[in-house]
Structure 1
Amino acid sequence: MDPLSLLPLARATRPSLPLAAAIAPLRSGKLSACGGGGARIAPTRCRRAARMSASAVASETPRTEDAPSPSPSGQEQFDWLDQWYPFAPVCDLDPRAPHGKTVLGLDVVAWFDRGAGEWRVFDDACPHRLAPLSEGRIDDKGRLQCVYHGWCFDGAGACKFIPQAPALGPPVHKNSKACVASYPCVVQNNILWFYPRAEQEYKDVLQRKRPPLIPEIDDPGFVTVYGIRDLPYGYDILVENLFDPAHVPYAHKGIMRGIRKKEDPGRVDYDKEGGGPIKMKIEEANTEGFVSSQERGYFQFIAPSTLVGSPFAQPQEGKKTPRILLLFFCVPVAPGRSRVIWAFPRNVGVWLHNITPRWLYHVGQNLILDSDIFLLHVEERKFAAAGLDNWQKACYVPTSSDNMVIAFRNWFRKFCKNQVGWATPQVDQLPPTPTKDQLMERYWSHVVQCTSCSAALKAMKALEVALQIASVAVIGFLAIAKGTLVTSTVQRAAVVSTAVLCFAASRWLANFIQKNFYFQDYIHAYK
């Protein structure tokens, strides 16, 4: 899976990856309304112990000439806690309920504060008995209520009501221990971001530092489709994979087609998948990321989460040209787990964007993600066995098509010591490998997080039941009406055919639901 690989097209219309990227908007889905504007930073009355970043400067290792390492900078290191992290697209957040996620090892909950008209991000733990607030509800006064014992909290994290406390007794709810840690948050580009420090000195961090801003998303001439999915491999594997265009025609065979190159002097052996040399040059490499210029387009890594690029060259100033941006936000969840949020702003294919359901677009997106999930999950474990410090010794990367991968691995080694700076103590050991159907399941990793796919699944299940009822009802009608209303053989045949068609349609729909919303295997040998 690389940035261009998440733009699926029918094979007959995919002569090359850049062309596929250019046409892909015509297959995009309809975006449900997303909240815009910026949410003010949620104030906090509760302090949390300061956390130290685990990142540090690593020693030198060999590197490829065309993919230079970030420049040495003495004791400079990447501070994972001094960054903004995307929580979810706002269009996938129901303001009527709290939403829990893990980011950087932190269990956090987002909820909509009706009184202030803003989203809030809290620790996902009630201070009473540490029950998850994400399982709670928004009460009739617009407060976040813990459903274990009914404690209620306002938008600042202050406890406003403890049902078990006597009305005329001491105001125990005002004790600082009754507060919930509240994190700075902001809605930008229709995505909810949060900053993983809850100490009082960070409440105004937005004035000093903001999430990466993508102007095209807010441009009224552009339309954008969002998506989100949890993945069973770690942050570094996700970023590395998105930076690897060479795997597309092989790992995604049958879904994506590679870039068909012009004649390569001296080459006599070609394959039908369409692989070939890819030239790219790494520039501006430092602790904040790097830029890769390519034959077609460019990509930029804005550490730690944002990957932005385009299959087209940068537009000339003041000149309107067809544009599509590829945006991926890579979220470290926990060791061996990550989350990708994607957004594709573009100023072409706008009319079809307005008539195509968003869930249909996600069907293709998830198939692409499925096709290399198992490969990446196993690869991560082999890297762990070899040791990430030995990555360049364990892997043979002699071609320029791996330059972005090498640049990222050098950045991760030099500025992060080959590890994420988790906000909470983490065990470095990877979780056990589940079965393949569990690795590739779509329901919990995507559908429950996506309002469009959840609504489509609910509607299709209802239609499936309706078709089954219709098939039984038609047969019942035939039995009752035999010899009265239905007298001819032709009429009876028509009624039976209707029943059979309803039943067959229900079975086809059940299979469609299973493949596209729960699990669909991808066997490379048969592609």
Structure 2
Amino acid sequence: MRAAGVLAFAVAARAWAPARPAPRPRAVSLNVATEDPATVADEAQVTKRSSLRAAPVLTDARDMVQVFEDFEADEASVVQDDGEASQSPLGYATDAVTGALFDLLHFGDASGIEDSSKNLRVLWARALLDDAGELEDKVAHNLLPKLTRDVAKWDALKPAARFAEFVTSRTKFIDAAVDKFLAAVENSGAGKPQIVLLGAGFDTRAMRYAERIRDIDGDIYELDLPHVCKGKSGLWDTWVAEHGSDSYKKPSYIPYDLNDAGDPDKATPLDILTSAGFSKERPTLFCSEAVLFYVDDLPKRRLFQDLLLASTTSPDSAVVLTDNLKPLLPSPFTHEARAFFEDSNFDLLKHSARWGGAVHYAFAARRDSQIYDQLVVDRQDTTVSYLPILSHGAAALQKKPTFENAWYAVAFSKQLERQEGDDFDELGYTPYATRLFGEPMVIYRDASGQINAVADACPHRSAPMSMGRVGDDGNLRCFYHGWAFGKDGVRADVDQFKPDGTLKKNACSLKQFAAEEVDGIVYVWRGPLLEADASKLPQKVPDATPTYPVDTVLDYKVGFEYIVENNLDSVHLFHLHDGSIPPIAALGMRRSNTDNLLMKAFSDDVGPGHVGKLRGALKPNKLVRFDAPNIVRHGGVSGFHEEFHIVPIAPKRTRVLLRQHLPKGPILTTVTGFPGVPKFLEVLVNNWNYHIGLEDYSVMQGQAHMIDDLGAPRINKAGKGDDLIYKFYNWYNKALENDGGQPYFARWTGDNEYNRVIVGDGTARDWSDIDDDELRGTVGIKEDFHAVHPVANYPPANPDGGGGYLKKWNAQVALFRALGIPLGFNPKDE
């Protein structure tokens, strides 16, 4: 998907649910069609649907069941016929340009290389990457023509290394598998290893591993086109003479067109290998690196059936690939990749996918192999996750719902740094003050760079630390009496500490919360400090596609549960947001297409979700998942994904930290390297998010008023996709029951440790309408205390916030109109 399309999806594939939460926090009741709405409303007024009441089972689910059945039937009906390998016009143009360039660079080359530009492009890229420090490959430079090889060392070409990230990542992935395989064979005593490289071109792997292969008496076989094998053989001889050793065992270069694997009248690749000395009895690793793009579908199927996963090869065999598996495996999802390999009794040891499933990074081995136990040593389990970010903490909370003992994102790291206006304060800059479920806390970075999260109450006389300043020394200083606190909230100005007991030791440190910084997001542990478990933090799936993150902050004066609910709702994207952002139409998210939306529920290693597709599409194009307790994730097969950290500030105050991950290909990497582009991209995406958020905010405020204030049923008639909403509220109610009350902070206990008490069956304080925008302090000396931190400075609660959102959006509207792009709730169909 093009960058613009990805950005469009980033906006289209999400939803907000701001609304007025109940004045009395309580369990949520999902009333269904069998109940009389009037009776339900009367009951709500009388009983307020008392806290911890269990939600009735959602019975009216005919639409949801039908959606699932339709999805399965449509998926089965979409059959992709075997076709021929091809590339885009851009690919052909690139081949022509680089081919002419390499003709020039290889003019007068005595090596006798005759090849297309593709293989030479990789060889030169490897030499460039080595010189740029991105990849270690000293061999590549030695294989280049002597007269022109130093071109790869030109500083002017260093930026071009960004375009070769695919070469870097696939090389490291396969090398790691080769190392693992060779060590497993050696440690298990399984025999002499063999490595088969399919279509390696002018890759240097055989040369880089020449010493290792010699020492363990192994063999390398390369299947490739005849002219490539001839050129590679000559390069090997030259390299050994100049840089290698006569003791190295030369690989067997076997001429073979992989497309012949689909021709029943020609020899199979296994027969060709066997005739060249390959043994079906020896442990073998098959490697396929970016070559199957150029193999037709039928021979590709037979390559896997008759060679790579065939039972006729050694039981001690394994497969590593960074390649295209269509049509065998058009989906990027690990659970489908695992099933694909398990059909041949292979265990998927490692897996990720890139470019919307166009490229799979996979390492698999036979389960009954004698090297299997060695291969799984220190194994990082391949997670069955529909998205490239997983969380063992969310998985644990699904099993035992609770709002306690969990990590909550509370800020982006950049929000802790000096902000606009702080430069004029000689005392330092403003600490980041926030609340989590109403509990006041302040976050700052000390002199060592460590993140500290502490109670917003000075241990001296409970003055708010949020009124203080973080000095250049990294100490948080109370504005009232000047006490300073450094690492871990420990008092730093020890001159005022009196060891005679005048000031007790526990008065010299702030109550501390466990805090961690992960990928530019600050998380706080809600639970006992010593029980904070870093393994439960969200983490990236290994070898996932690199992404470029764009962050947006949104503020709401509604309860967090409404925002979770609406972000789990896919259907309203087609209706409410139809035409809101012009590129949405290109993604098929139009009201006229609502009936074509098909969804299928799933539950991966993290939590429940939906896979969505449009009728007739080859594969799903949208994902939604709930990560307990407060994260909603959206994604698509393009590699784009986004995460909504829905932060409960107080009962009617929520801040959303939205991070949208754009697949980091060479074009985006290069463009974002130009001055001003990252900022422009951030403003553009932020404004789109603000616009969508405002549309949802206006609707959901009314929805919550009907439900919370007037007792209307939350779900009266079930609709498409409502089963995921129900699952969330079912989890939510169980968490309330397990916690014994609402998760909101009620008060300090009054002791020196500032332990907290949560809201039980009583009413939590309503924070939504507190006006904390007016300054009442003495201008130039100190601003006033804000009762609700963080202040709602961003849309949709403050539509004029976010750096003047409305003016920027109106400018975009004027531009779209000038370009003739439809706008509005119901734009005309083109």
Say yes or no: TM over 0.5. yes
- TM-score normalised per structure 2: 0.40
Out of 374, 387, 396, the residue aligned to residue 717 of structure 2 is: 396
Q: Deviations over 1:41-63 (max 9, x none)?
A: xxxxxxxxxxxxx9968354234
Identity percentage over the alignment?
A: 20
- Map of 1:241 onto structure 2: 566
1:384 aligns with 2:708: yes
For residues 441-480 of structure 1, the aligned pairs below 5 Å read 444-446=792-794
| Alpha carbons of structure 1 residues 279 and 360: separation in structure 2 relative to 1, 3 Å | closer
Match of 1:361 in 2: 685
1:365 to 1:151, Cα distance in 2 relative to 1, 3 A: same
- Aligned residue for 1:142, secondary structure, equals coil
Partner of 1:338: 654
Q: What secondary structure, in the 3-state scheme, does the structure 1 residue paired with 2:411 have?
A: strand
RMSD: 4.5
* Shift in alpha-carbon separation, 1:151–1:404, aligned structure 2, 3 A: same
Q: Which residue of 2 aligns with 1:373?
A: 697
Contact 2:631/2:646 (8 A) holds in 1: yes
Q: Secondary structure at the match of 1:344?
A: strand
Query: Which one of 136, 139, 146 corresponds to residue 468 of structure 2?
Result: 136
Checking the alignment, whether the CA contact within 8 Å between 1:225 and 1:345 is kept in structure 2 is yes
2:435 alignment counterpart: 102
Other-structure match for 1:323 = 639
Shift of 1:245: 1.9
CA distance in 2, matches of 1:150, 1:514: 44
Does the 8 Å contact 1:97/1:111 carry over to 2?
no
- 2:535 matches 1:203: no
**1:274 Cα shift?**
4.5
Cα deviations across residues 277-335 of structure 1 (Å, max 9, x unaligned)?
5322323399x7413222233222110122223122xxxxxxxxx41112111111211
User: 2:607, 2:628 within 8 Å by CA — same for their partners in 1?
Assistant: yes
How big is the shift at 1:406?
2.7
Opposite residue 206 of structure 1, the aligned amino acid is: D
2:413 equivalent in structure 1: 90
Counterpart of 1:512 (choices 792, 803, 807) is 807
Relative to structure 1, the CA distance from residue 220 to residue 405 in structure 2 (aligned partners, 3 Å threshold; closer, same or farther) is closer
1:148 aligns with 2:476: no
**Residues 259 and 275 in structure 1, CA contact (< 8 A), matched pair in contact too:** no
State the SS of the aligned residue for 1:159: coil
**Alignment match, 2:598:** 279
Question: What's the CA shift string for 1:209-237, capped at 9, x where partnerless?
Answer: 42211348x96832111121221111110
Residue matched to 1:30 = none
User: Aligned partners of 2:509 and 2:64: how far apart in 1?
Assistant: 49
Q: 1:22 to 1:184 in 2, by over 3 A?
A: closer
Aligned to 2:820: none
- Displacement of 1:179 in angstroms is 2.5
Distance of 1:411 and 1:277 partners within structure 2 = 29
Q: How big is the shift at 1:368? A: 1.4
Measured in 2, the distance between the counterparts of 1:184 and 1:221 equals 28
CA offsets 1:315-360 (integer angstroms, 9 cap, x no match) = xxxxxxx411121111112112212111122324444444242223
- Cα gap change, 1:129/1:23 in structure 2, threshold over 3 Å: closer, same or farther? closer
Structure 1, unaligned stretches of length 5 or more?
1-6, 26-53, 263-270, 313-321, 458-509, 517-522
Match among 155, 176, 188 for residue 518 of structure 2: 188
Q: CA deviation at 1:443?
A: 9.0
Q: Structure 1 residue aligned with 2:552, among 227, 230, 237?
A: 227
**Following the alignment from structure 1 to structure 2, what is the Cα–Cα distance between the partners of residues 377 and 77?**
31
SS at match of 1:229: strand
State the partner residue of 1:421. 743
Counterparts of 2:9 and 2:704, CA distance in 1:
28
Alpha-carbon distance, 1:444 to partner: 3.8
CA deviation after TM superposition for structure 1 residue 238, in Å: 0.1
1:177 aligns with 2:507: yes
Residue 328 of structure 1: SS of its match in structure 2? strand
CA, structure 1 residues 222+77, in 2 after alignment: closer, same or farther (shift >3 Å)? closer
Contact 2:409/2:645, CA 8 A, preserved across alignment: yes
Given residue 308 of structure 1, which amino acid in structure 2 is its aligned partner? Answer: R
| CA displacement 1:21-46 (0-9 Å, x = unmatched) | 18999xxxxxxxxxxxxxxxxxxxxx
1:213 is aligned with what amino acid? Q
Conservation of the 8 A alpha-carbon contact between 2:10 and 2:640 = yes
State the one-letter code of the partner of 1:293: V
Stretch of structure 1 that moved more, 346-355 or 140-149: 346-355
Query: Which structure exhibits the higher relative contact order, with contacts defined as CA atoms closer than 8 Å and separated by 6 or more residues?
Result: 1
CA displacement at 1:417 relative to structure 2: 5.1
Is residue 2:80 matched to residue 1:80? no
2:652·2:768 contact (CA, 8 Å) conserved in 1? no
In 1, Cα distance between equivalents of 2:630 and 2:466: 24
Q: Which amino acid aligns with 2:717?
A: Y
Is 1:308 matched with 2:633?
yes
**1 CA distance for matches of 2:407 and 2:603?**
21
Counterpart Cα distance in 1 of 2:403 and 2:11: 37
CA distance in 1, matches of 2:743, 2:433: 21
- For residue 451 of structure 2, what is the aligned residue in structure 1? 119
Cα offsets for 1:432-466 (capped at 9, x unmatched): 6699x99xxx994328x9xxx97x67xxxxxxxxx
Secondary structure of 1:224's partner?
strand
Number of aligned residues: 385
In structure 2, the residue corresponding to 1:404 is in which secondary structure? helix
Alpha-carbon spacing, 1:215–1:133, altered in 2? closer, same or farther (3 Å): farther
Tell me if the contact between 2:579 and 2:826 (Cα under 8 Å) persists in the aligned partners: no
Question: CA distance change for structure 1 residues 67 and 85 in 2, over 3 Å: closer, same or farther?
Answer: farther
**Aligned position for 2:54:** 58
Query: How far apart are 1:67 and its partner, in Å?
Result: 6.1
| Residue 415 of structure 1: how far off its partner (Å) | 3.8
- CA pair 224-215 structure 1, distance change in 2 beyond 3 A: farther
- SS of the residue 2:595 aligns to: coil
Q: 1:330 to 1:261 in 2, by over 3 A?
A: closer
Output the CA distance in 2 between the equivalents of 1:65 and 1:285: 24
2:336 maps to which residue?
Answer: none
Deviations 1:254-280 (A, max 9, x none): 423767899xxxxxxxx9665335322
Does the 8 Å contact 1:150/1:162 carry over to 2? no
Secondary structure in structure 1 of the residue aligned to 2:688: helix
Name the CA shift for 1:169/1:244 in 2 (closer, same or farther; >3 Å).
Answer: closer
Question: In structure 2, do the counterparts of structure 1 residues 24 and 382 end up closer, same or farther at CA, with 3 Å as the change threshold?
Answer: closer
- Judged with a 3 Å threshold, the aligned counterparts in structure 2 of structure 1 residues 515 and 100 are, in CA distance, closer, same or farther, namely farther
CA distance, structure 2, for counterparts of residue 169 and residue 444 of structure 1: 43
Change (3 A) 1:249 1:278: closer
Aligned residue type for 1:401? G
SS at match of 1:372: helix
Counterpart Cα distance in 1 of 2:472 and 2:586: 60
Task: Give the letter aligned to residue 108 of structure 1.
Answer: M
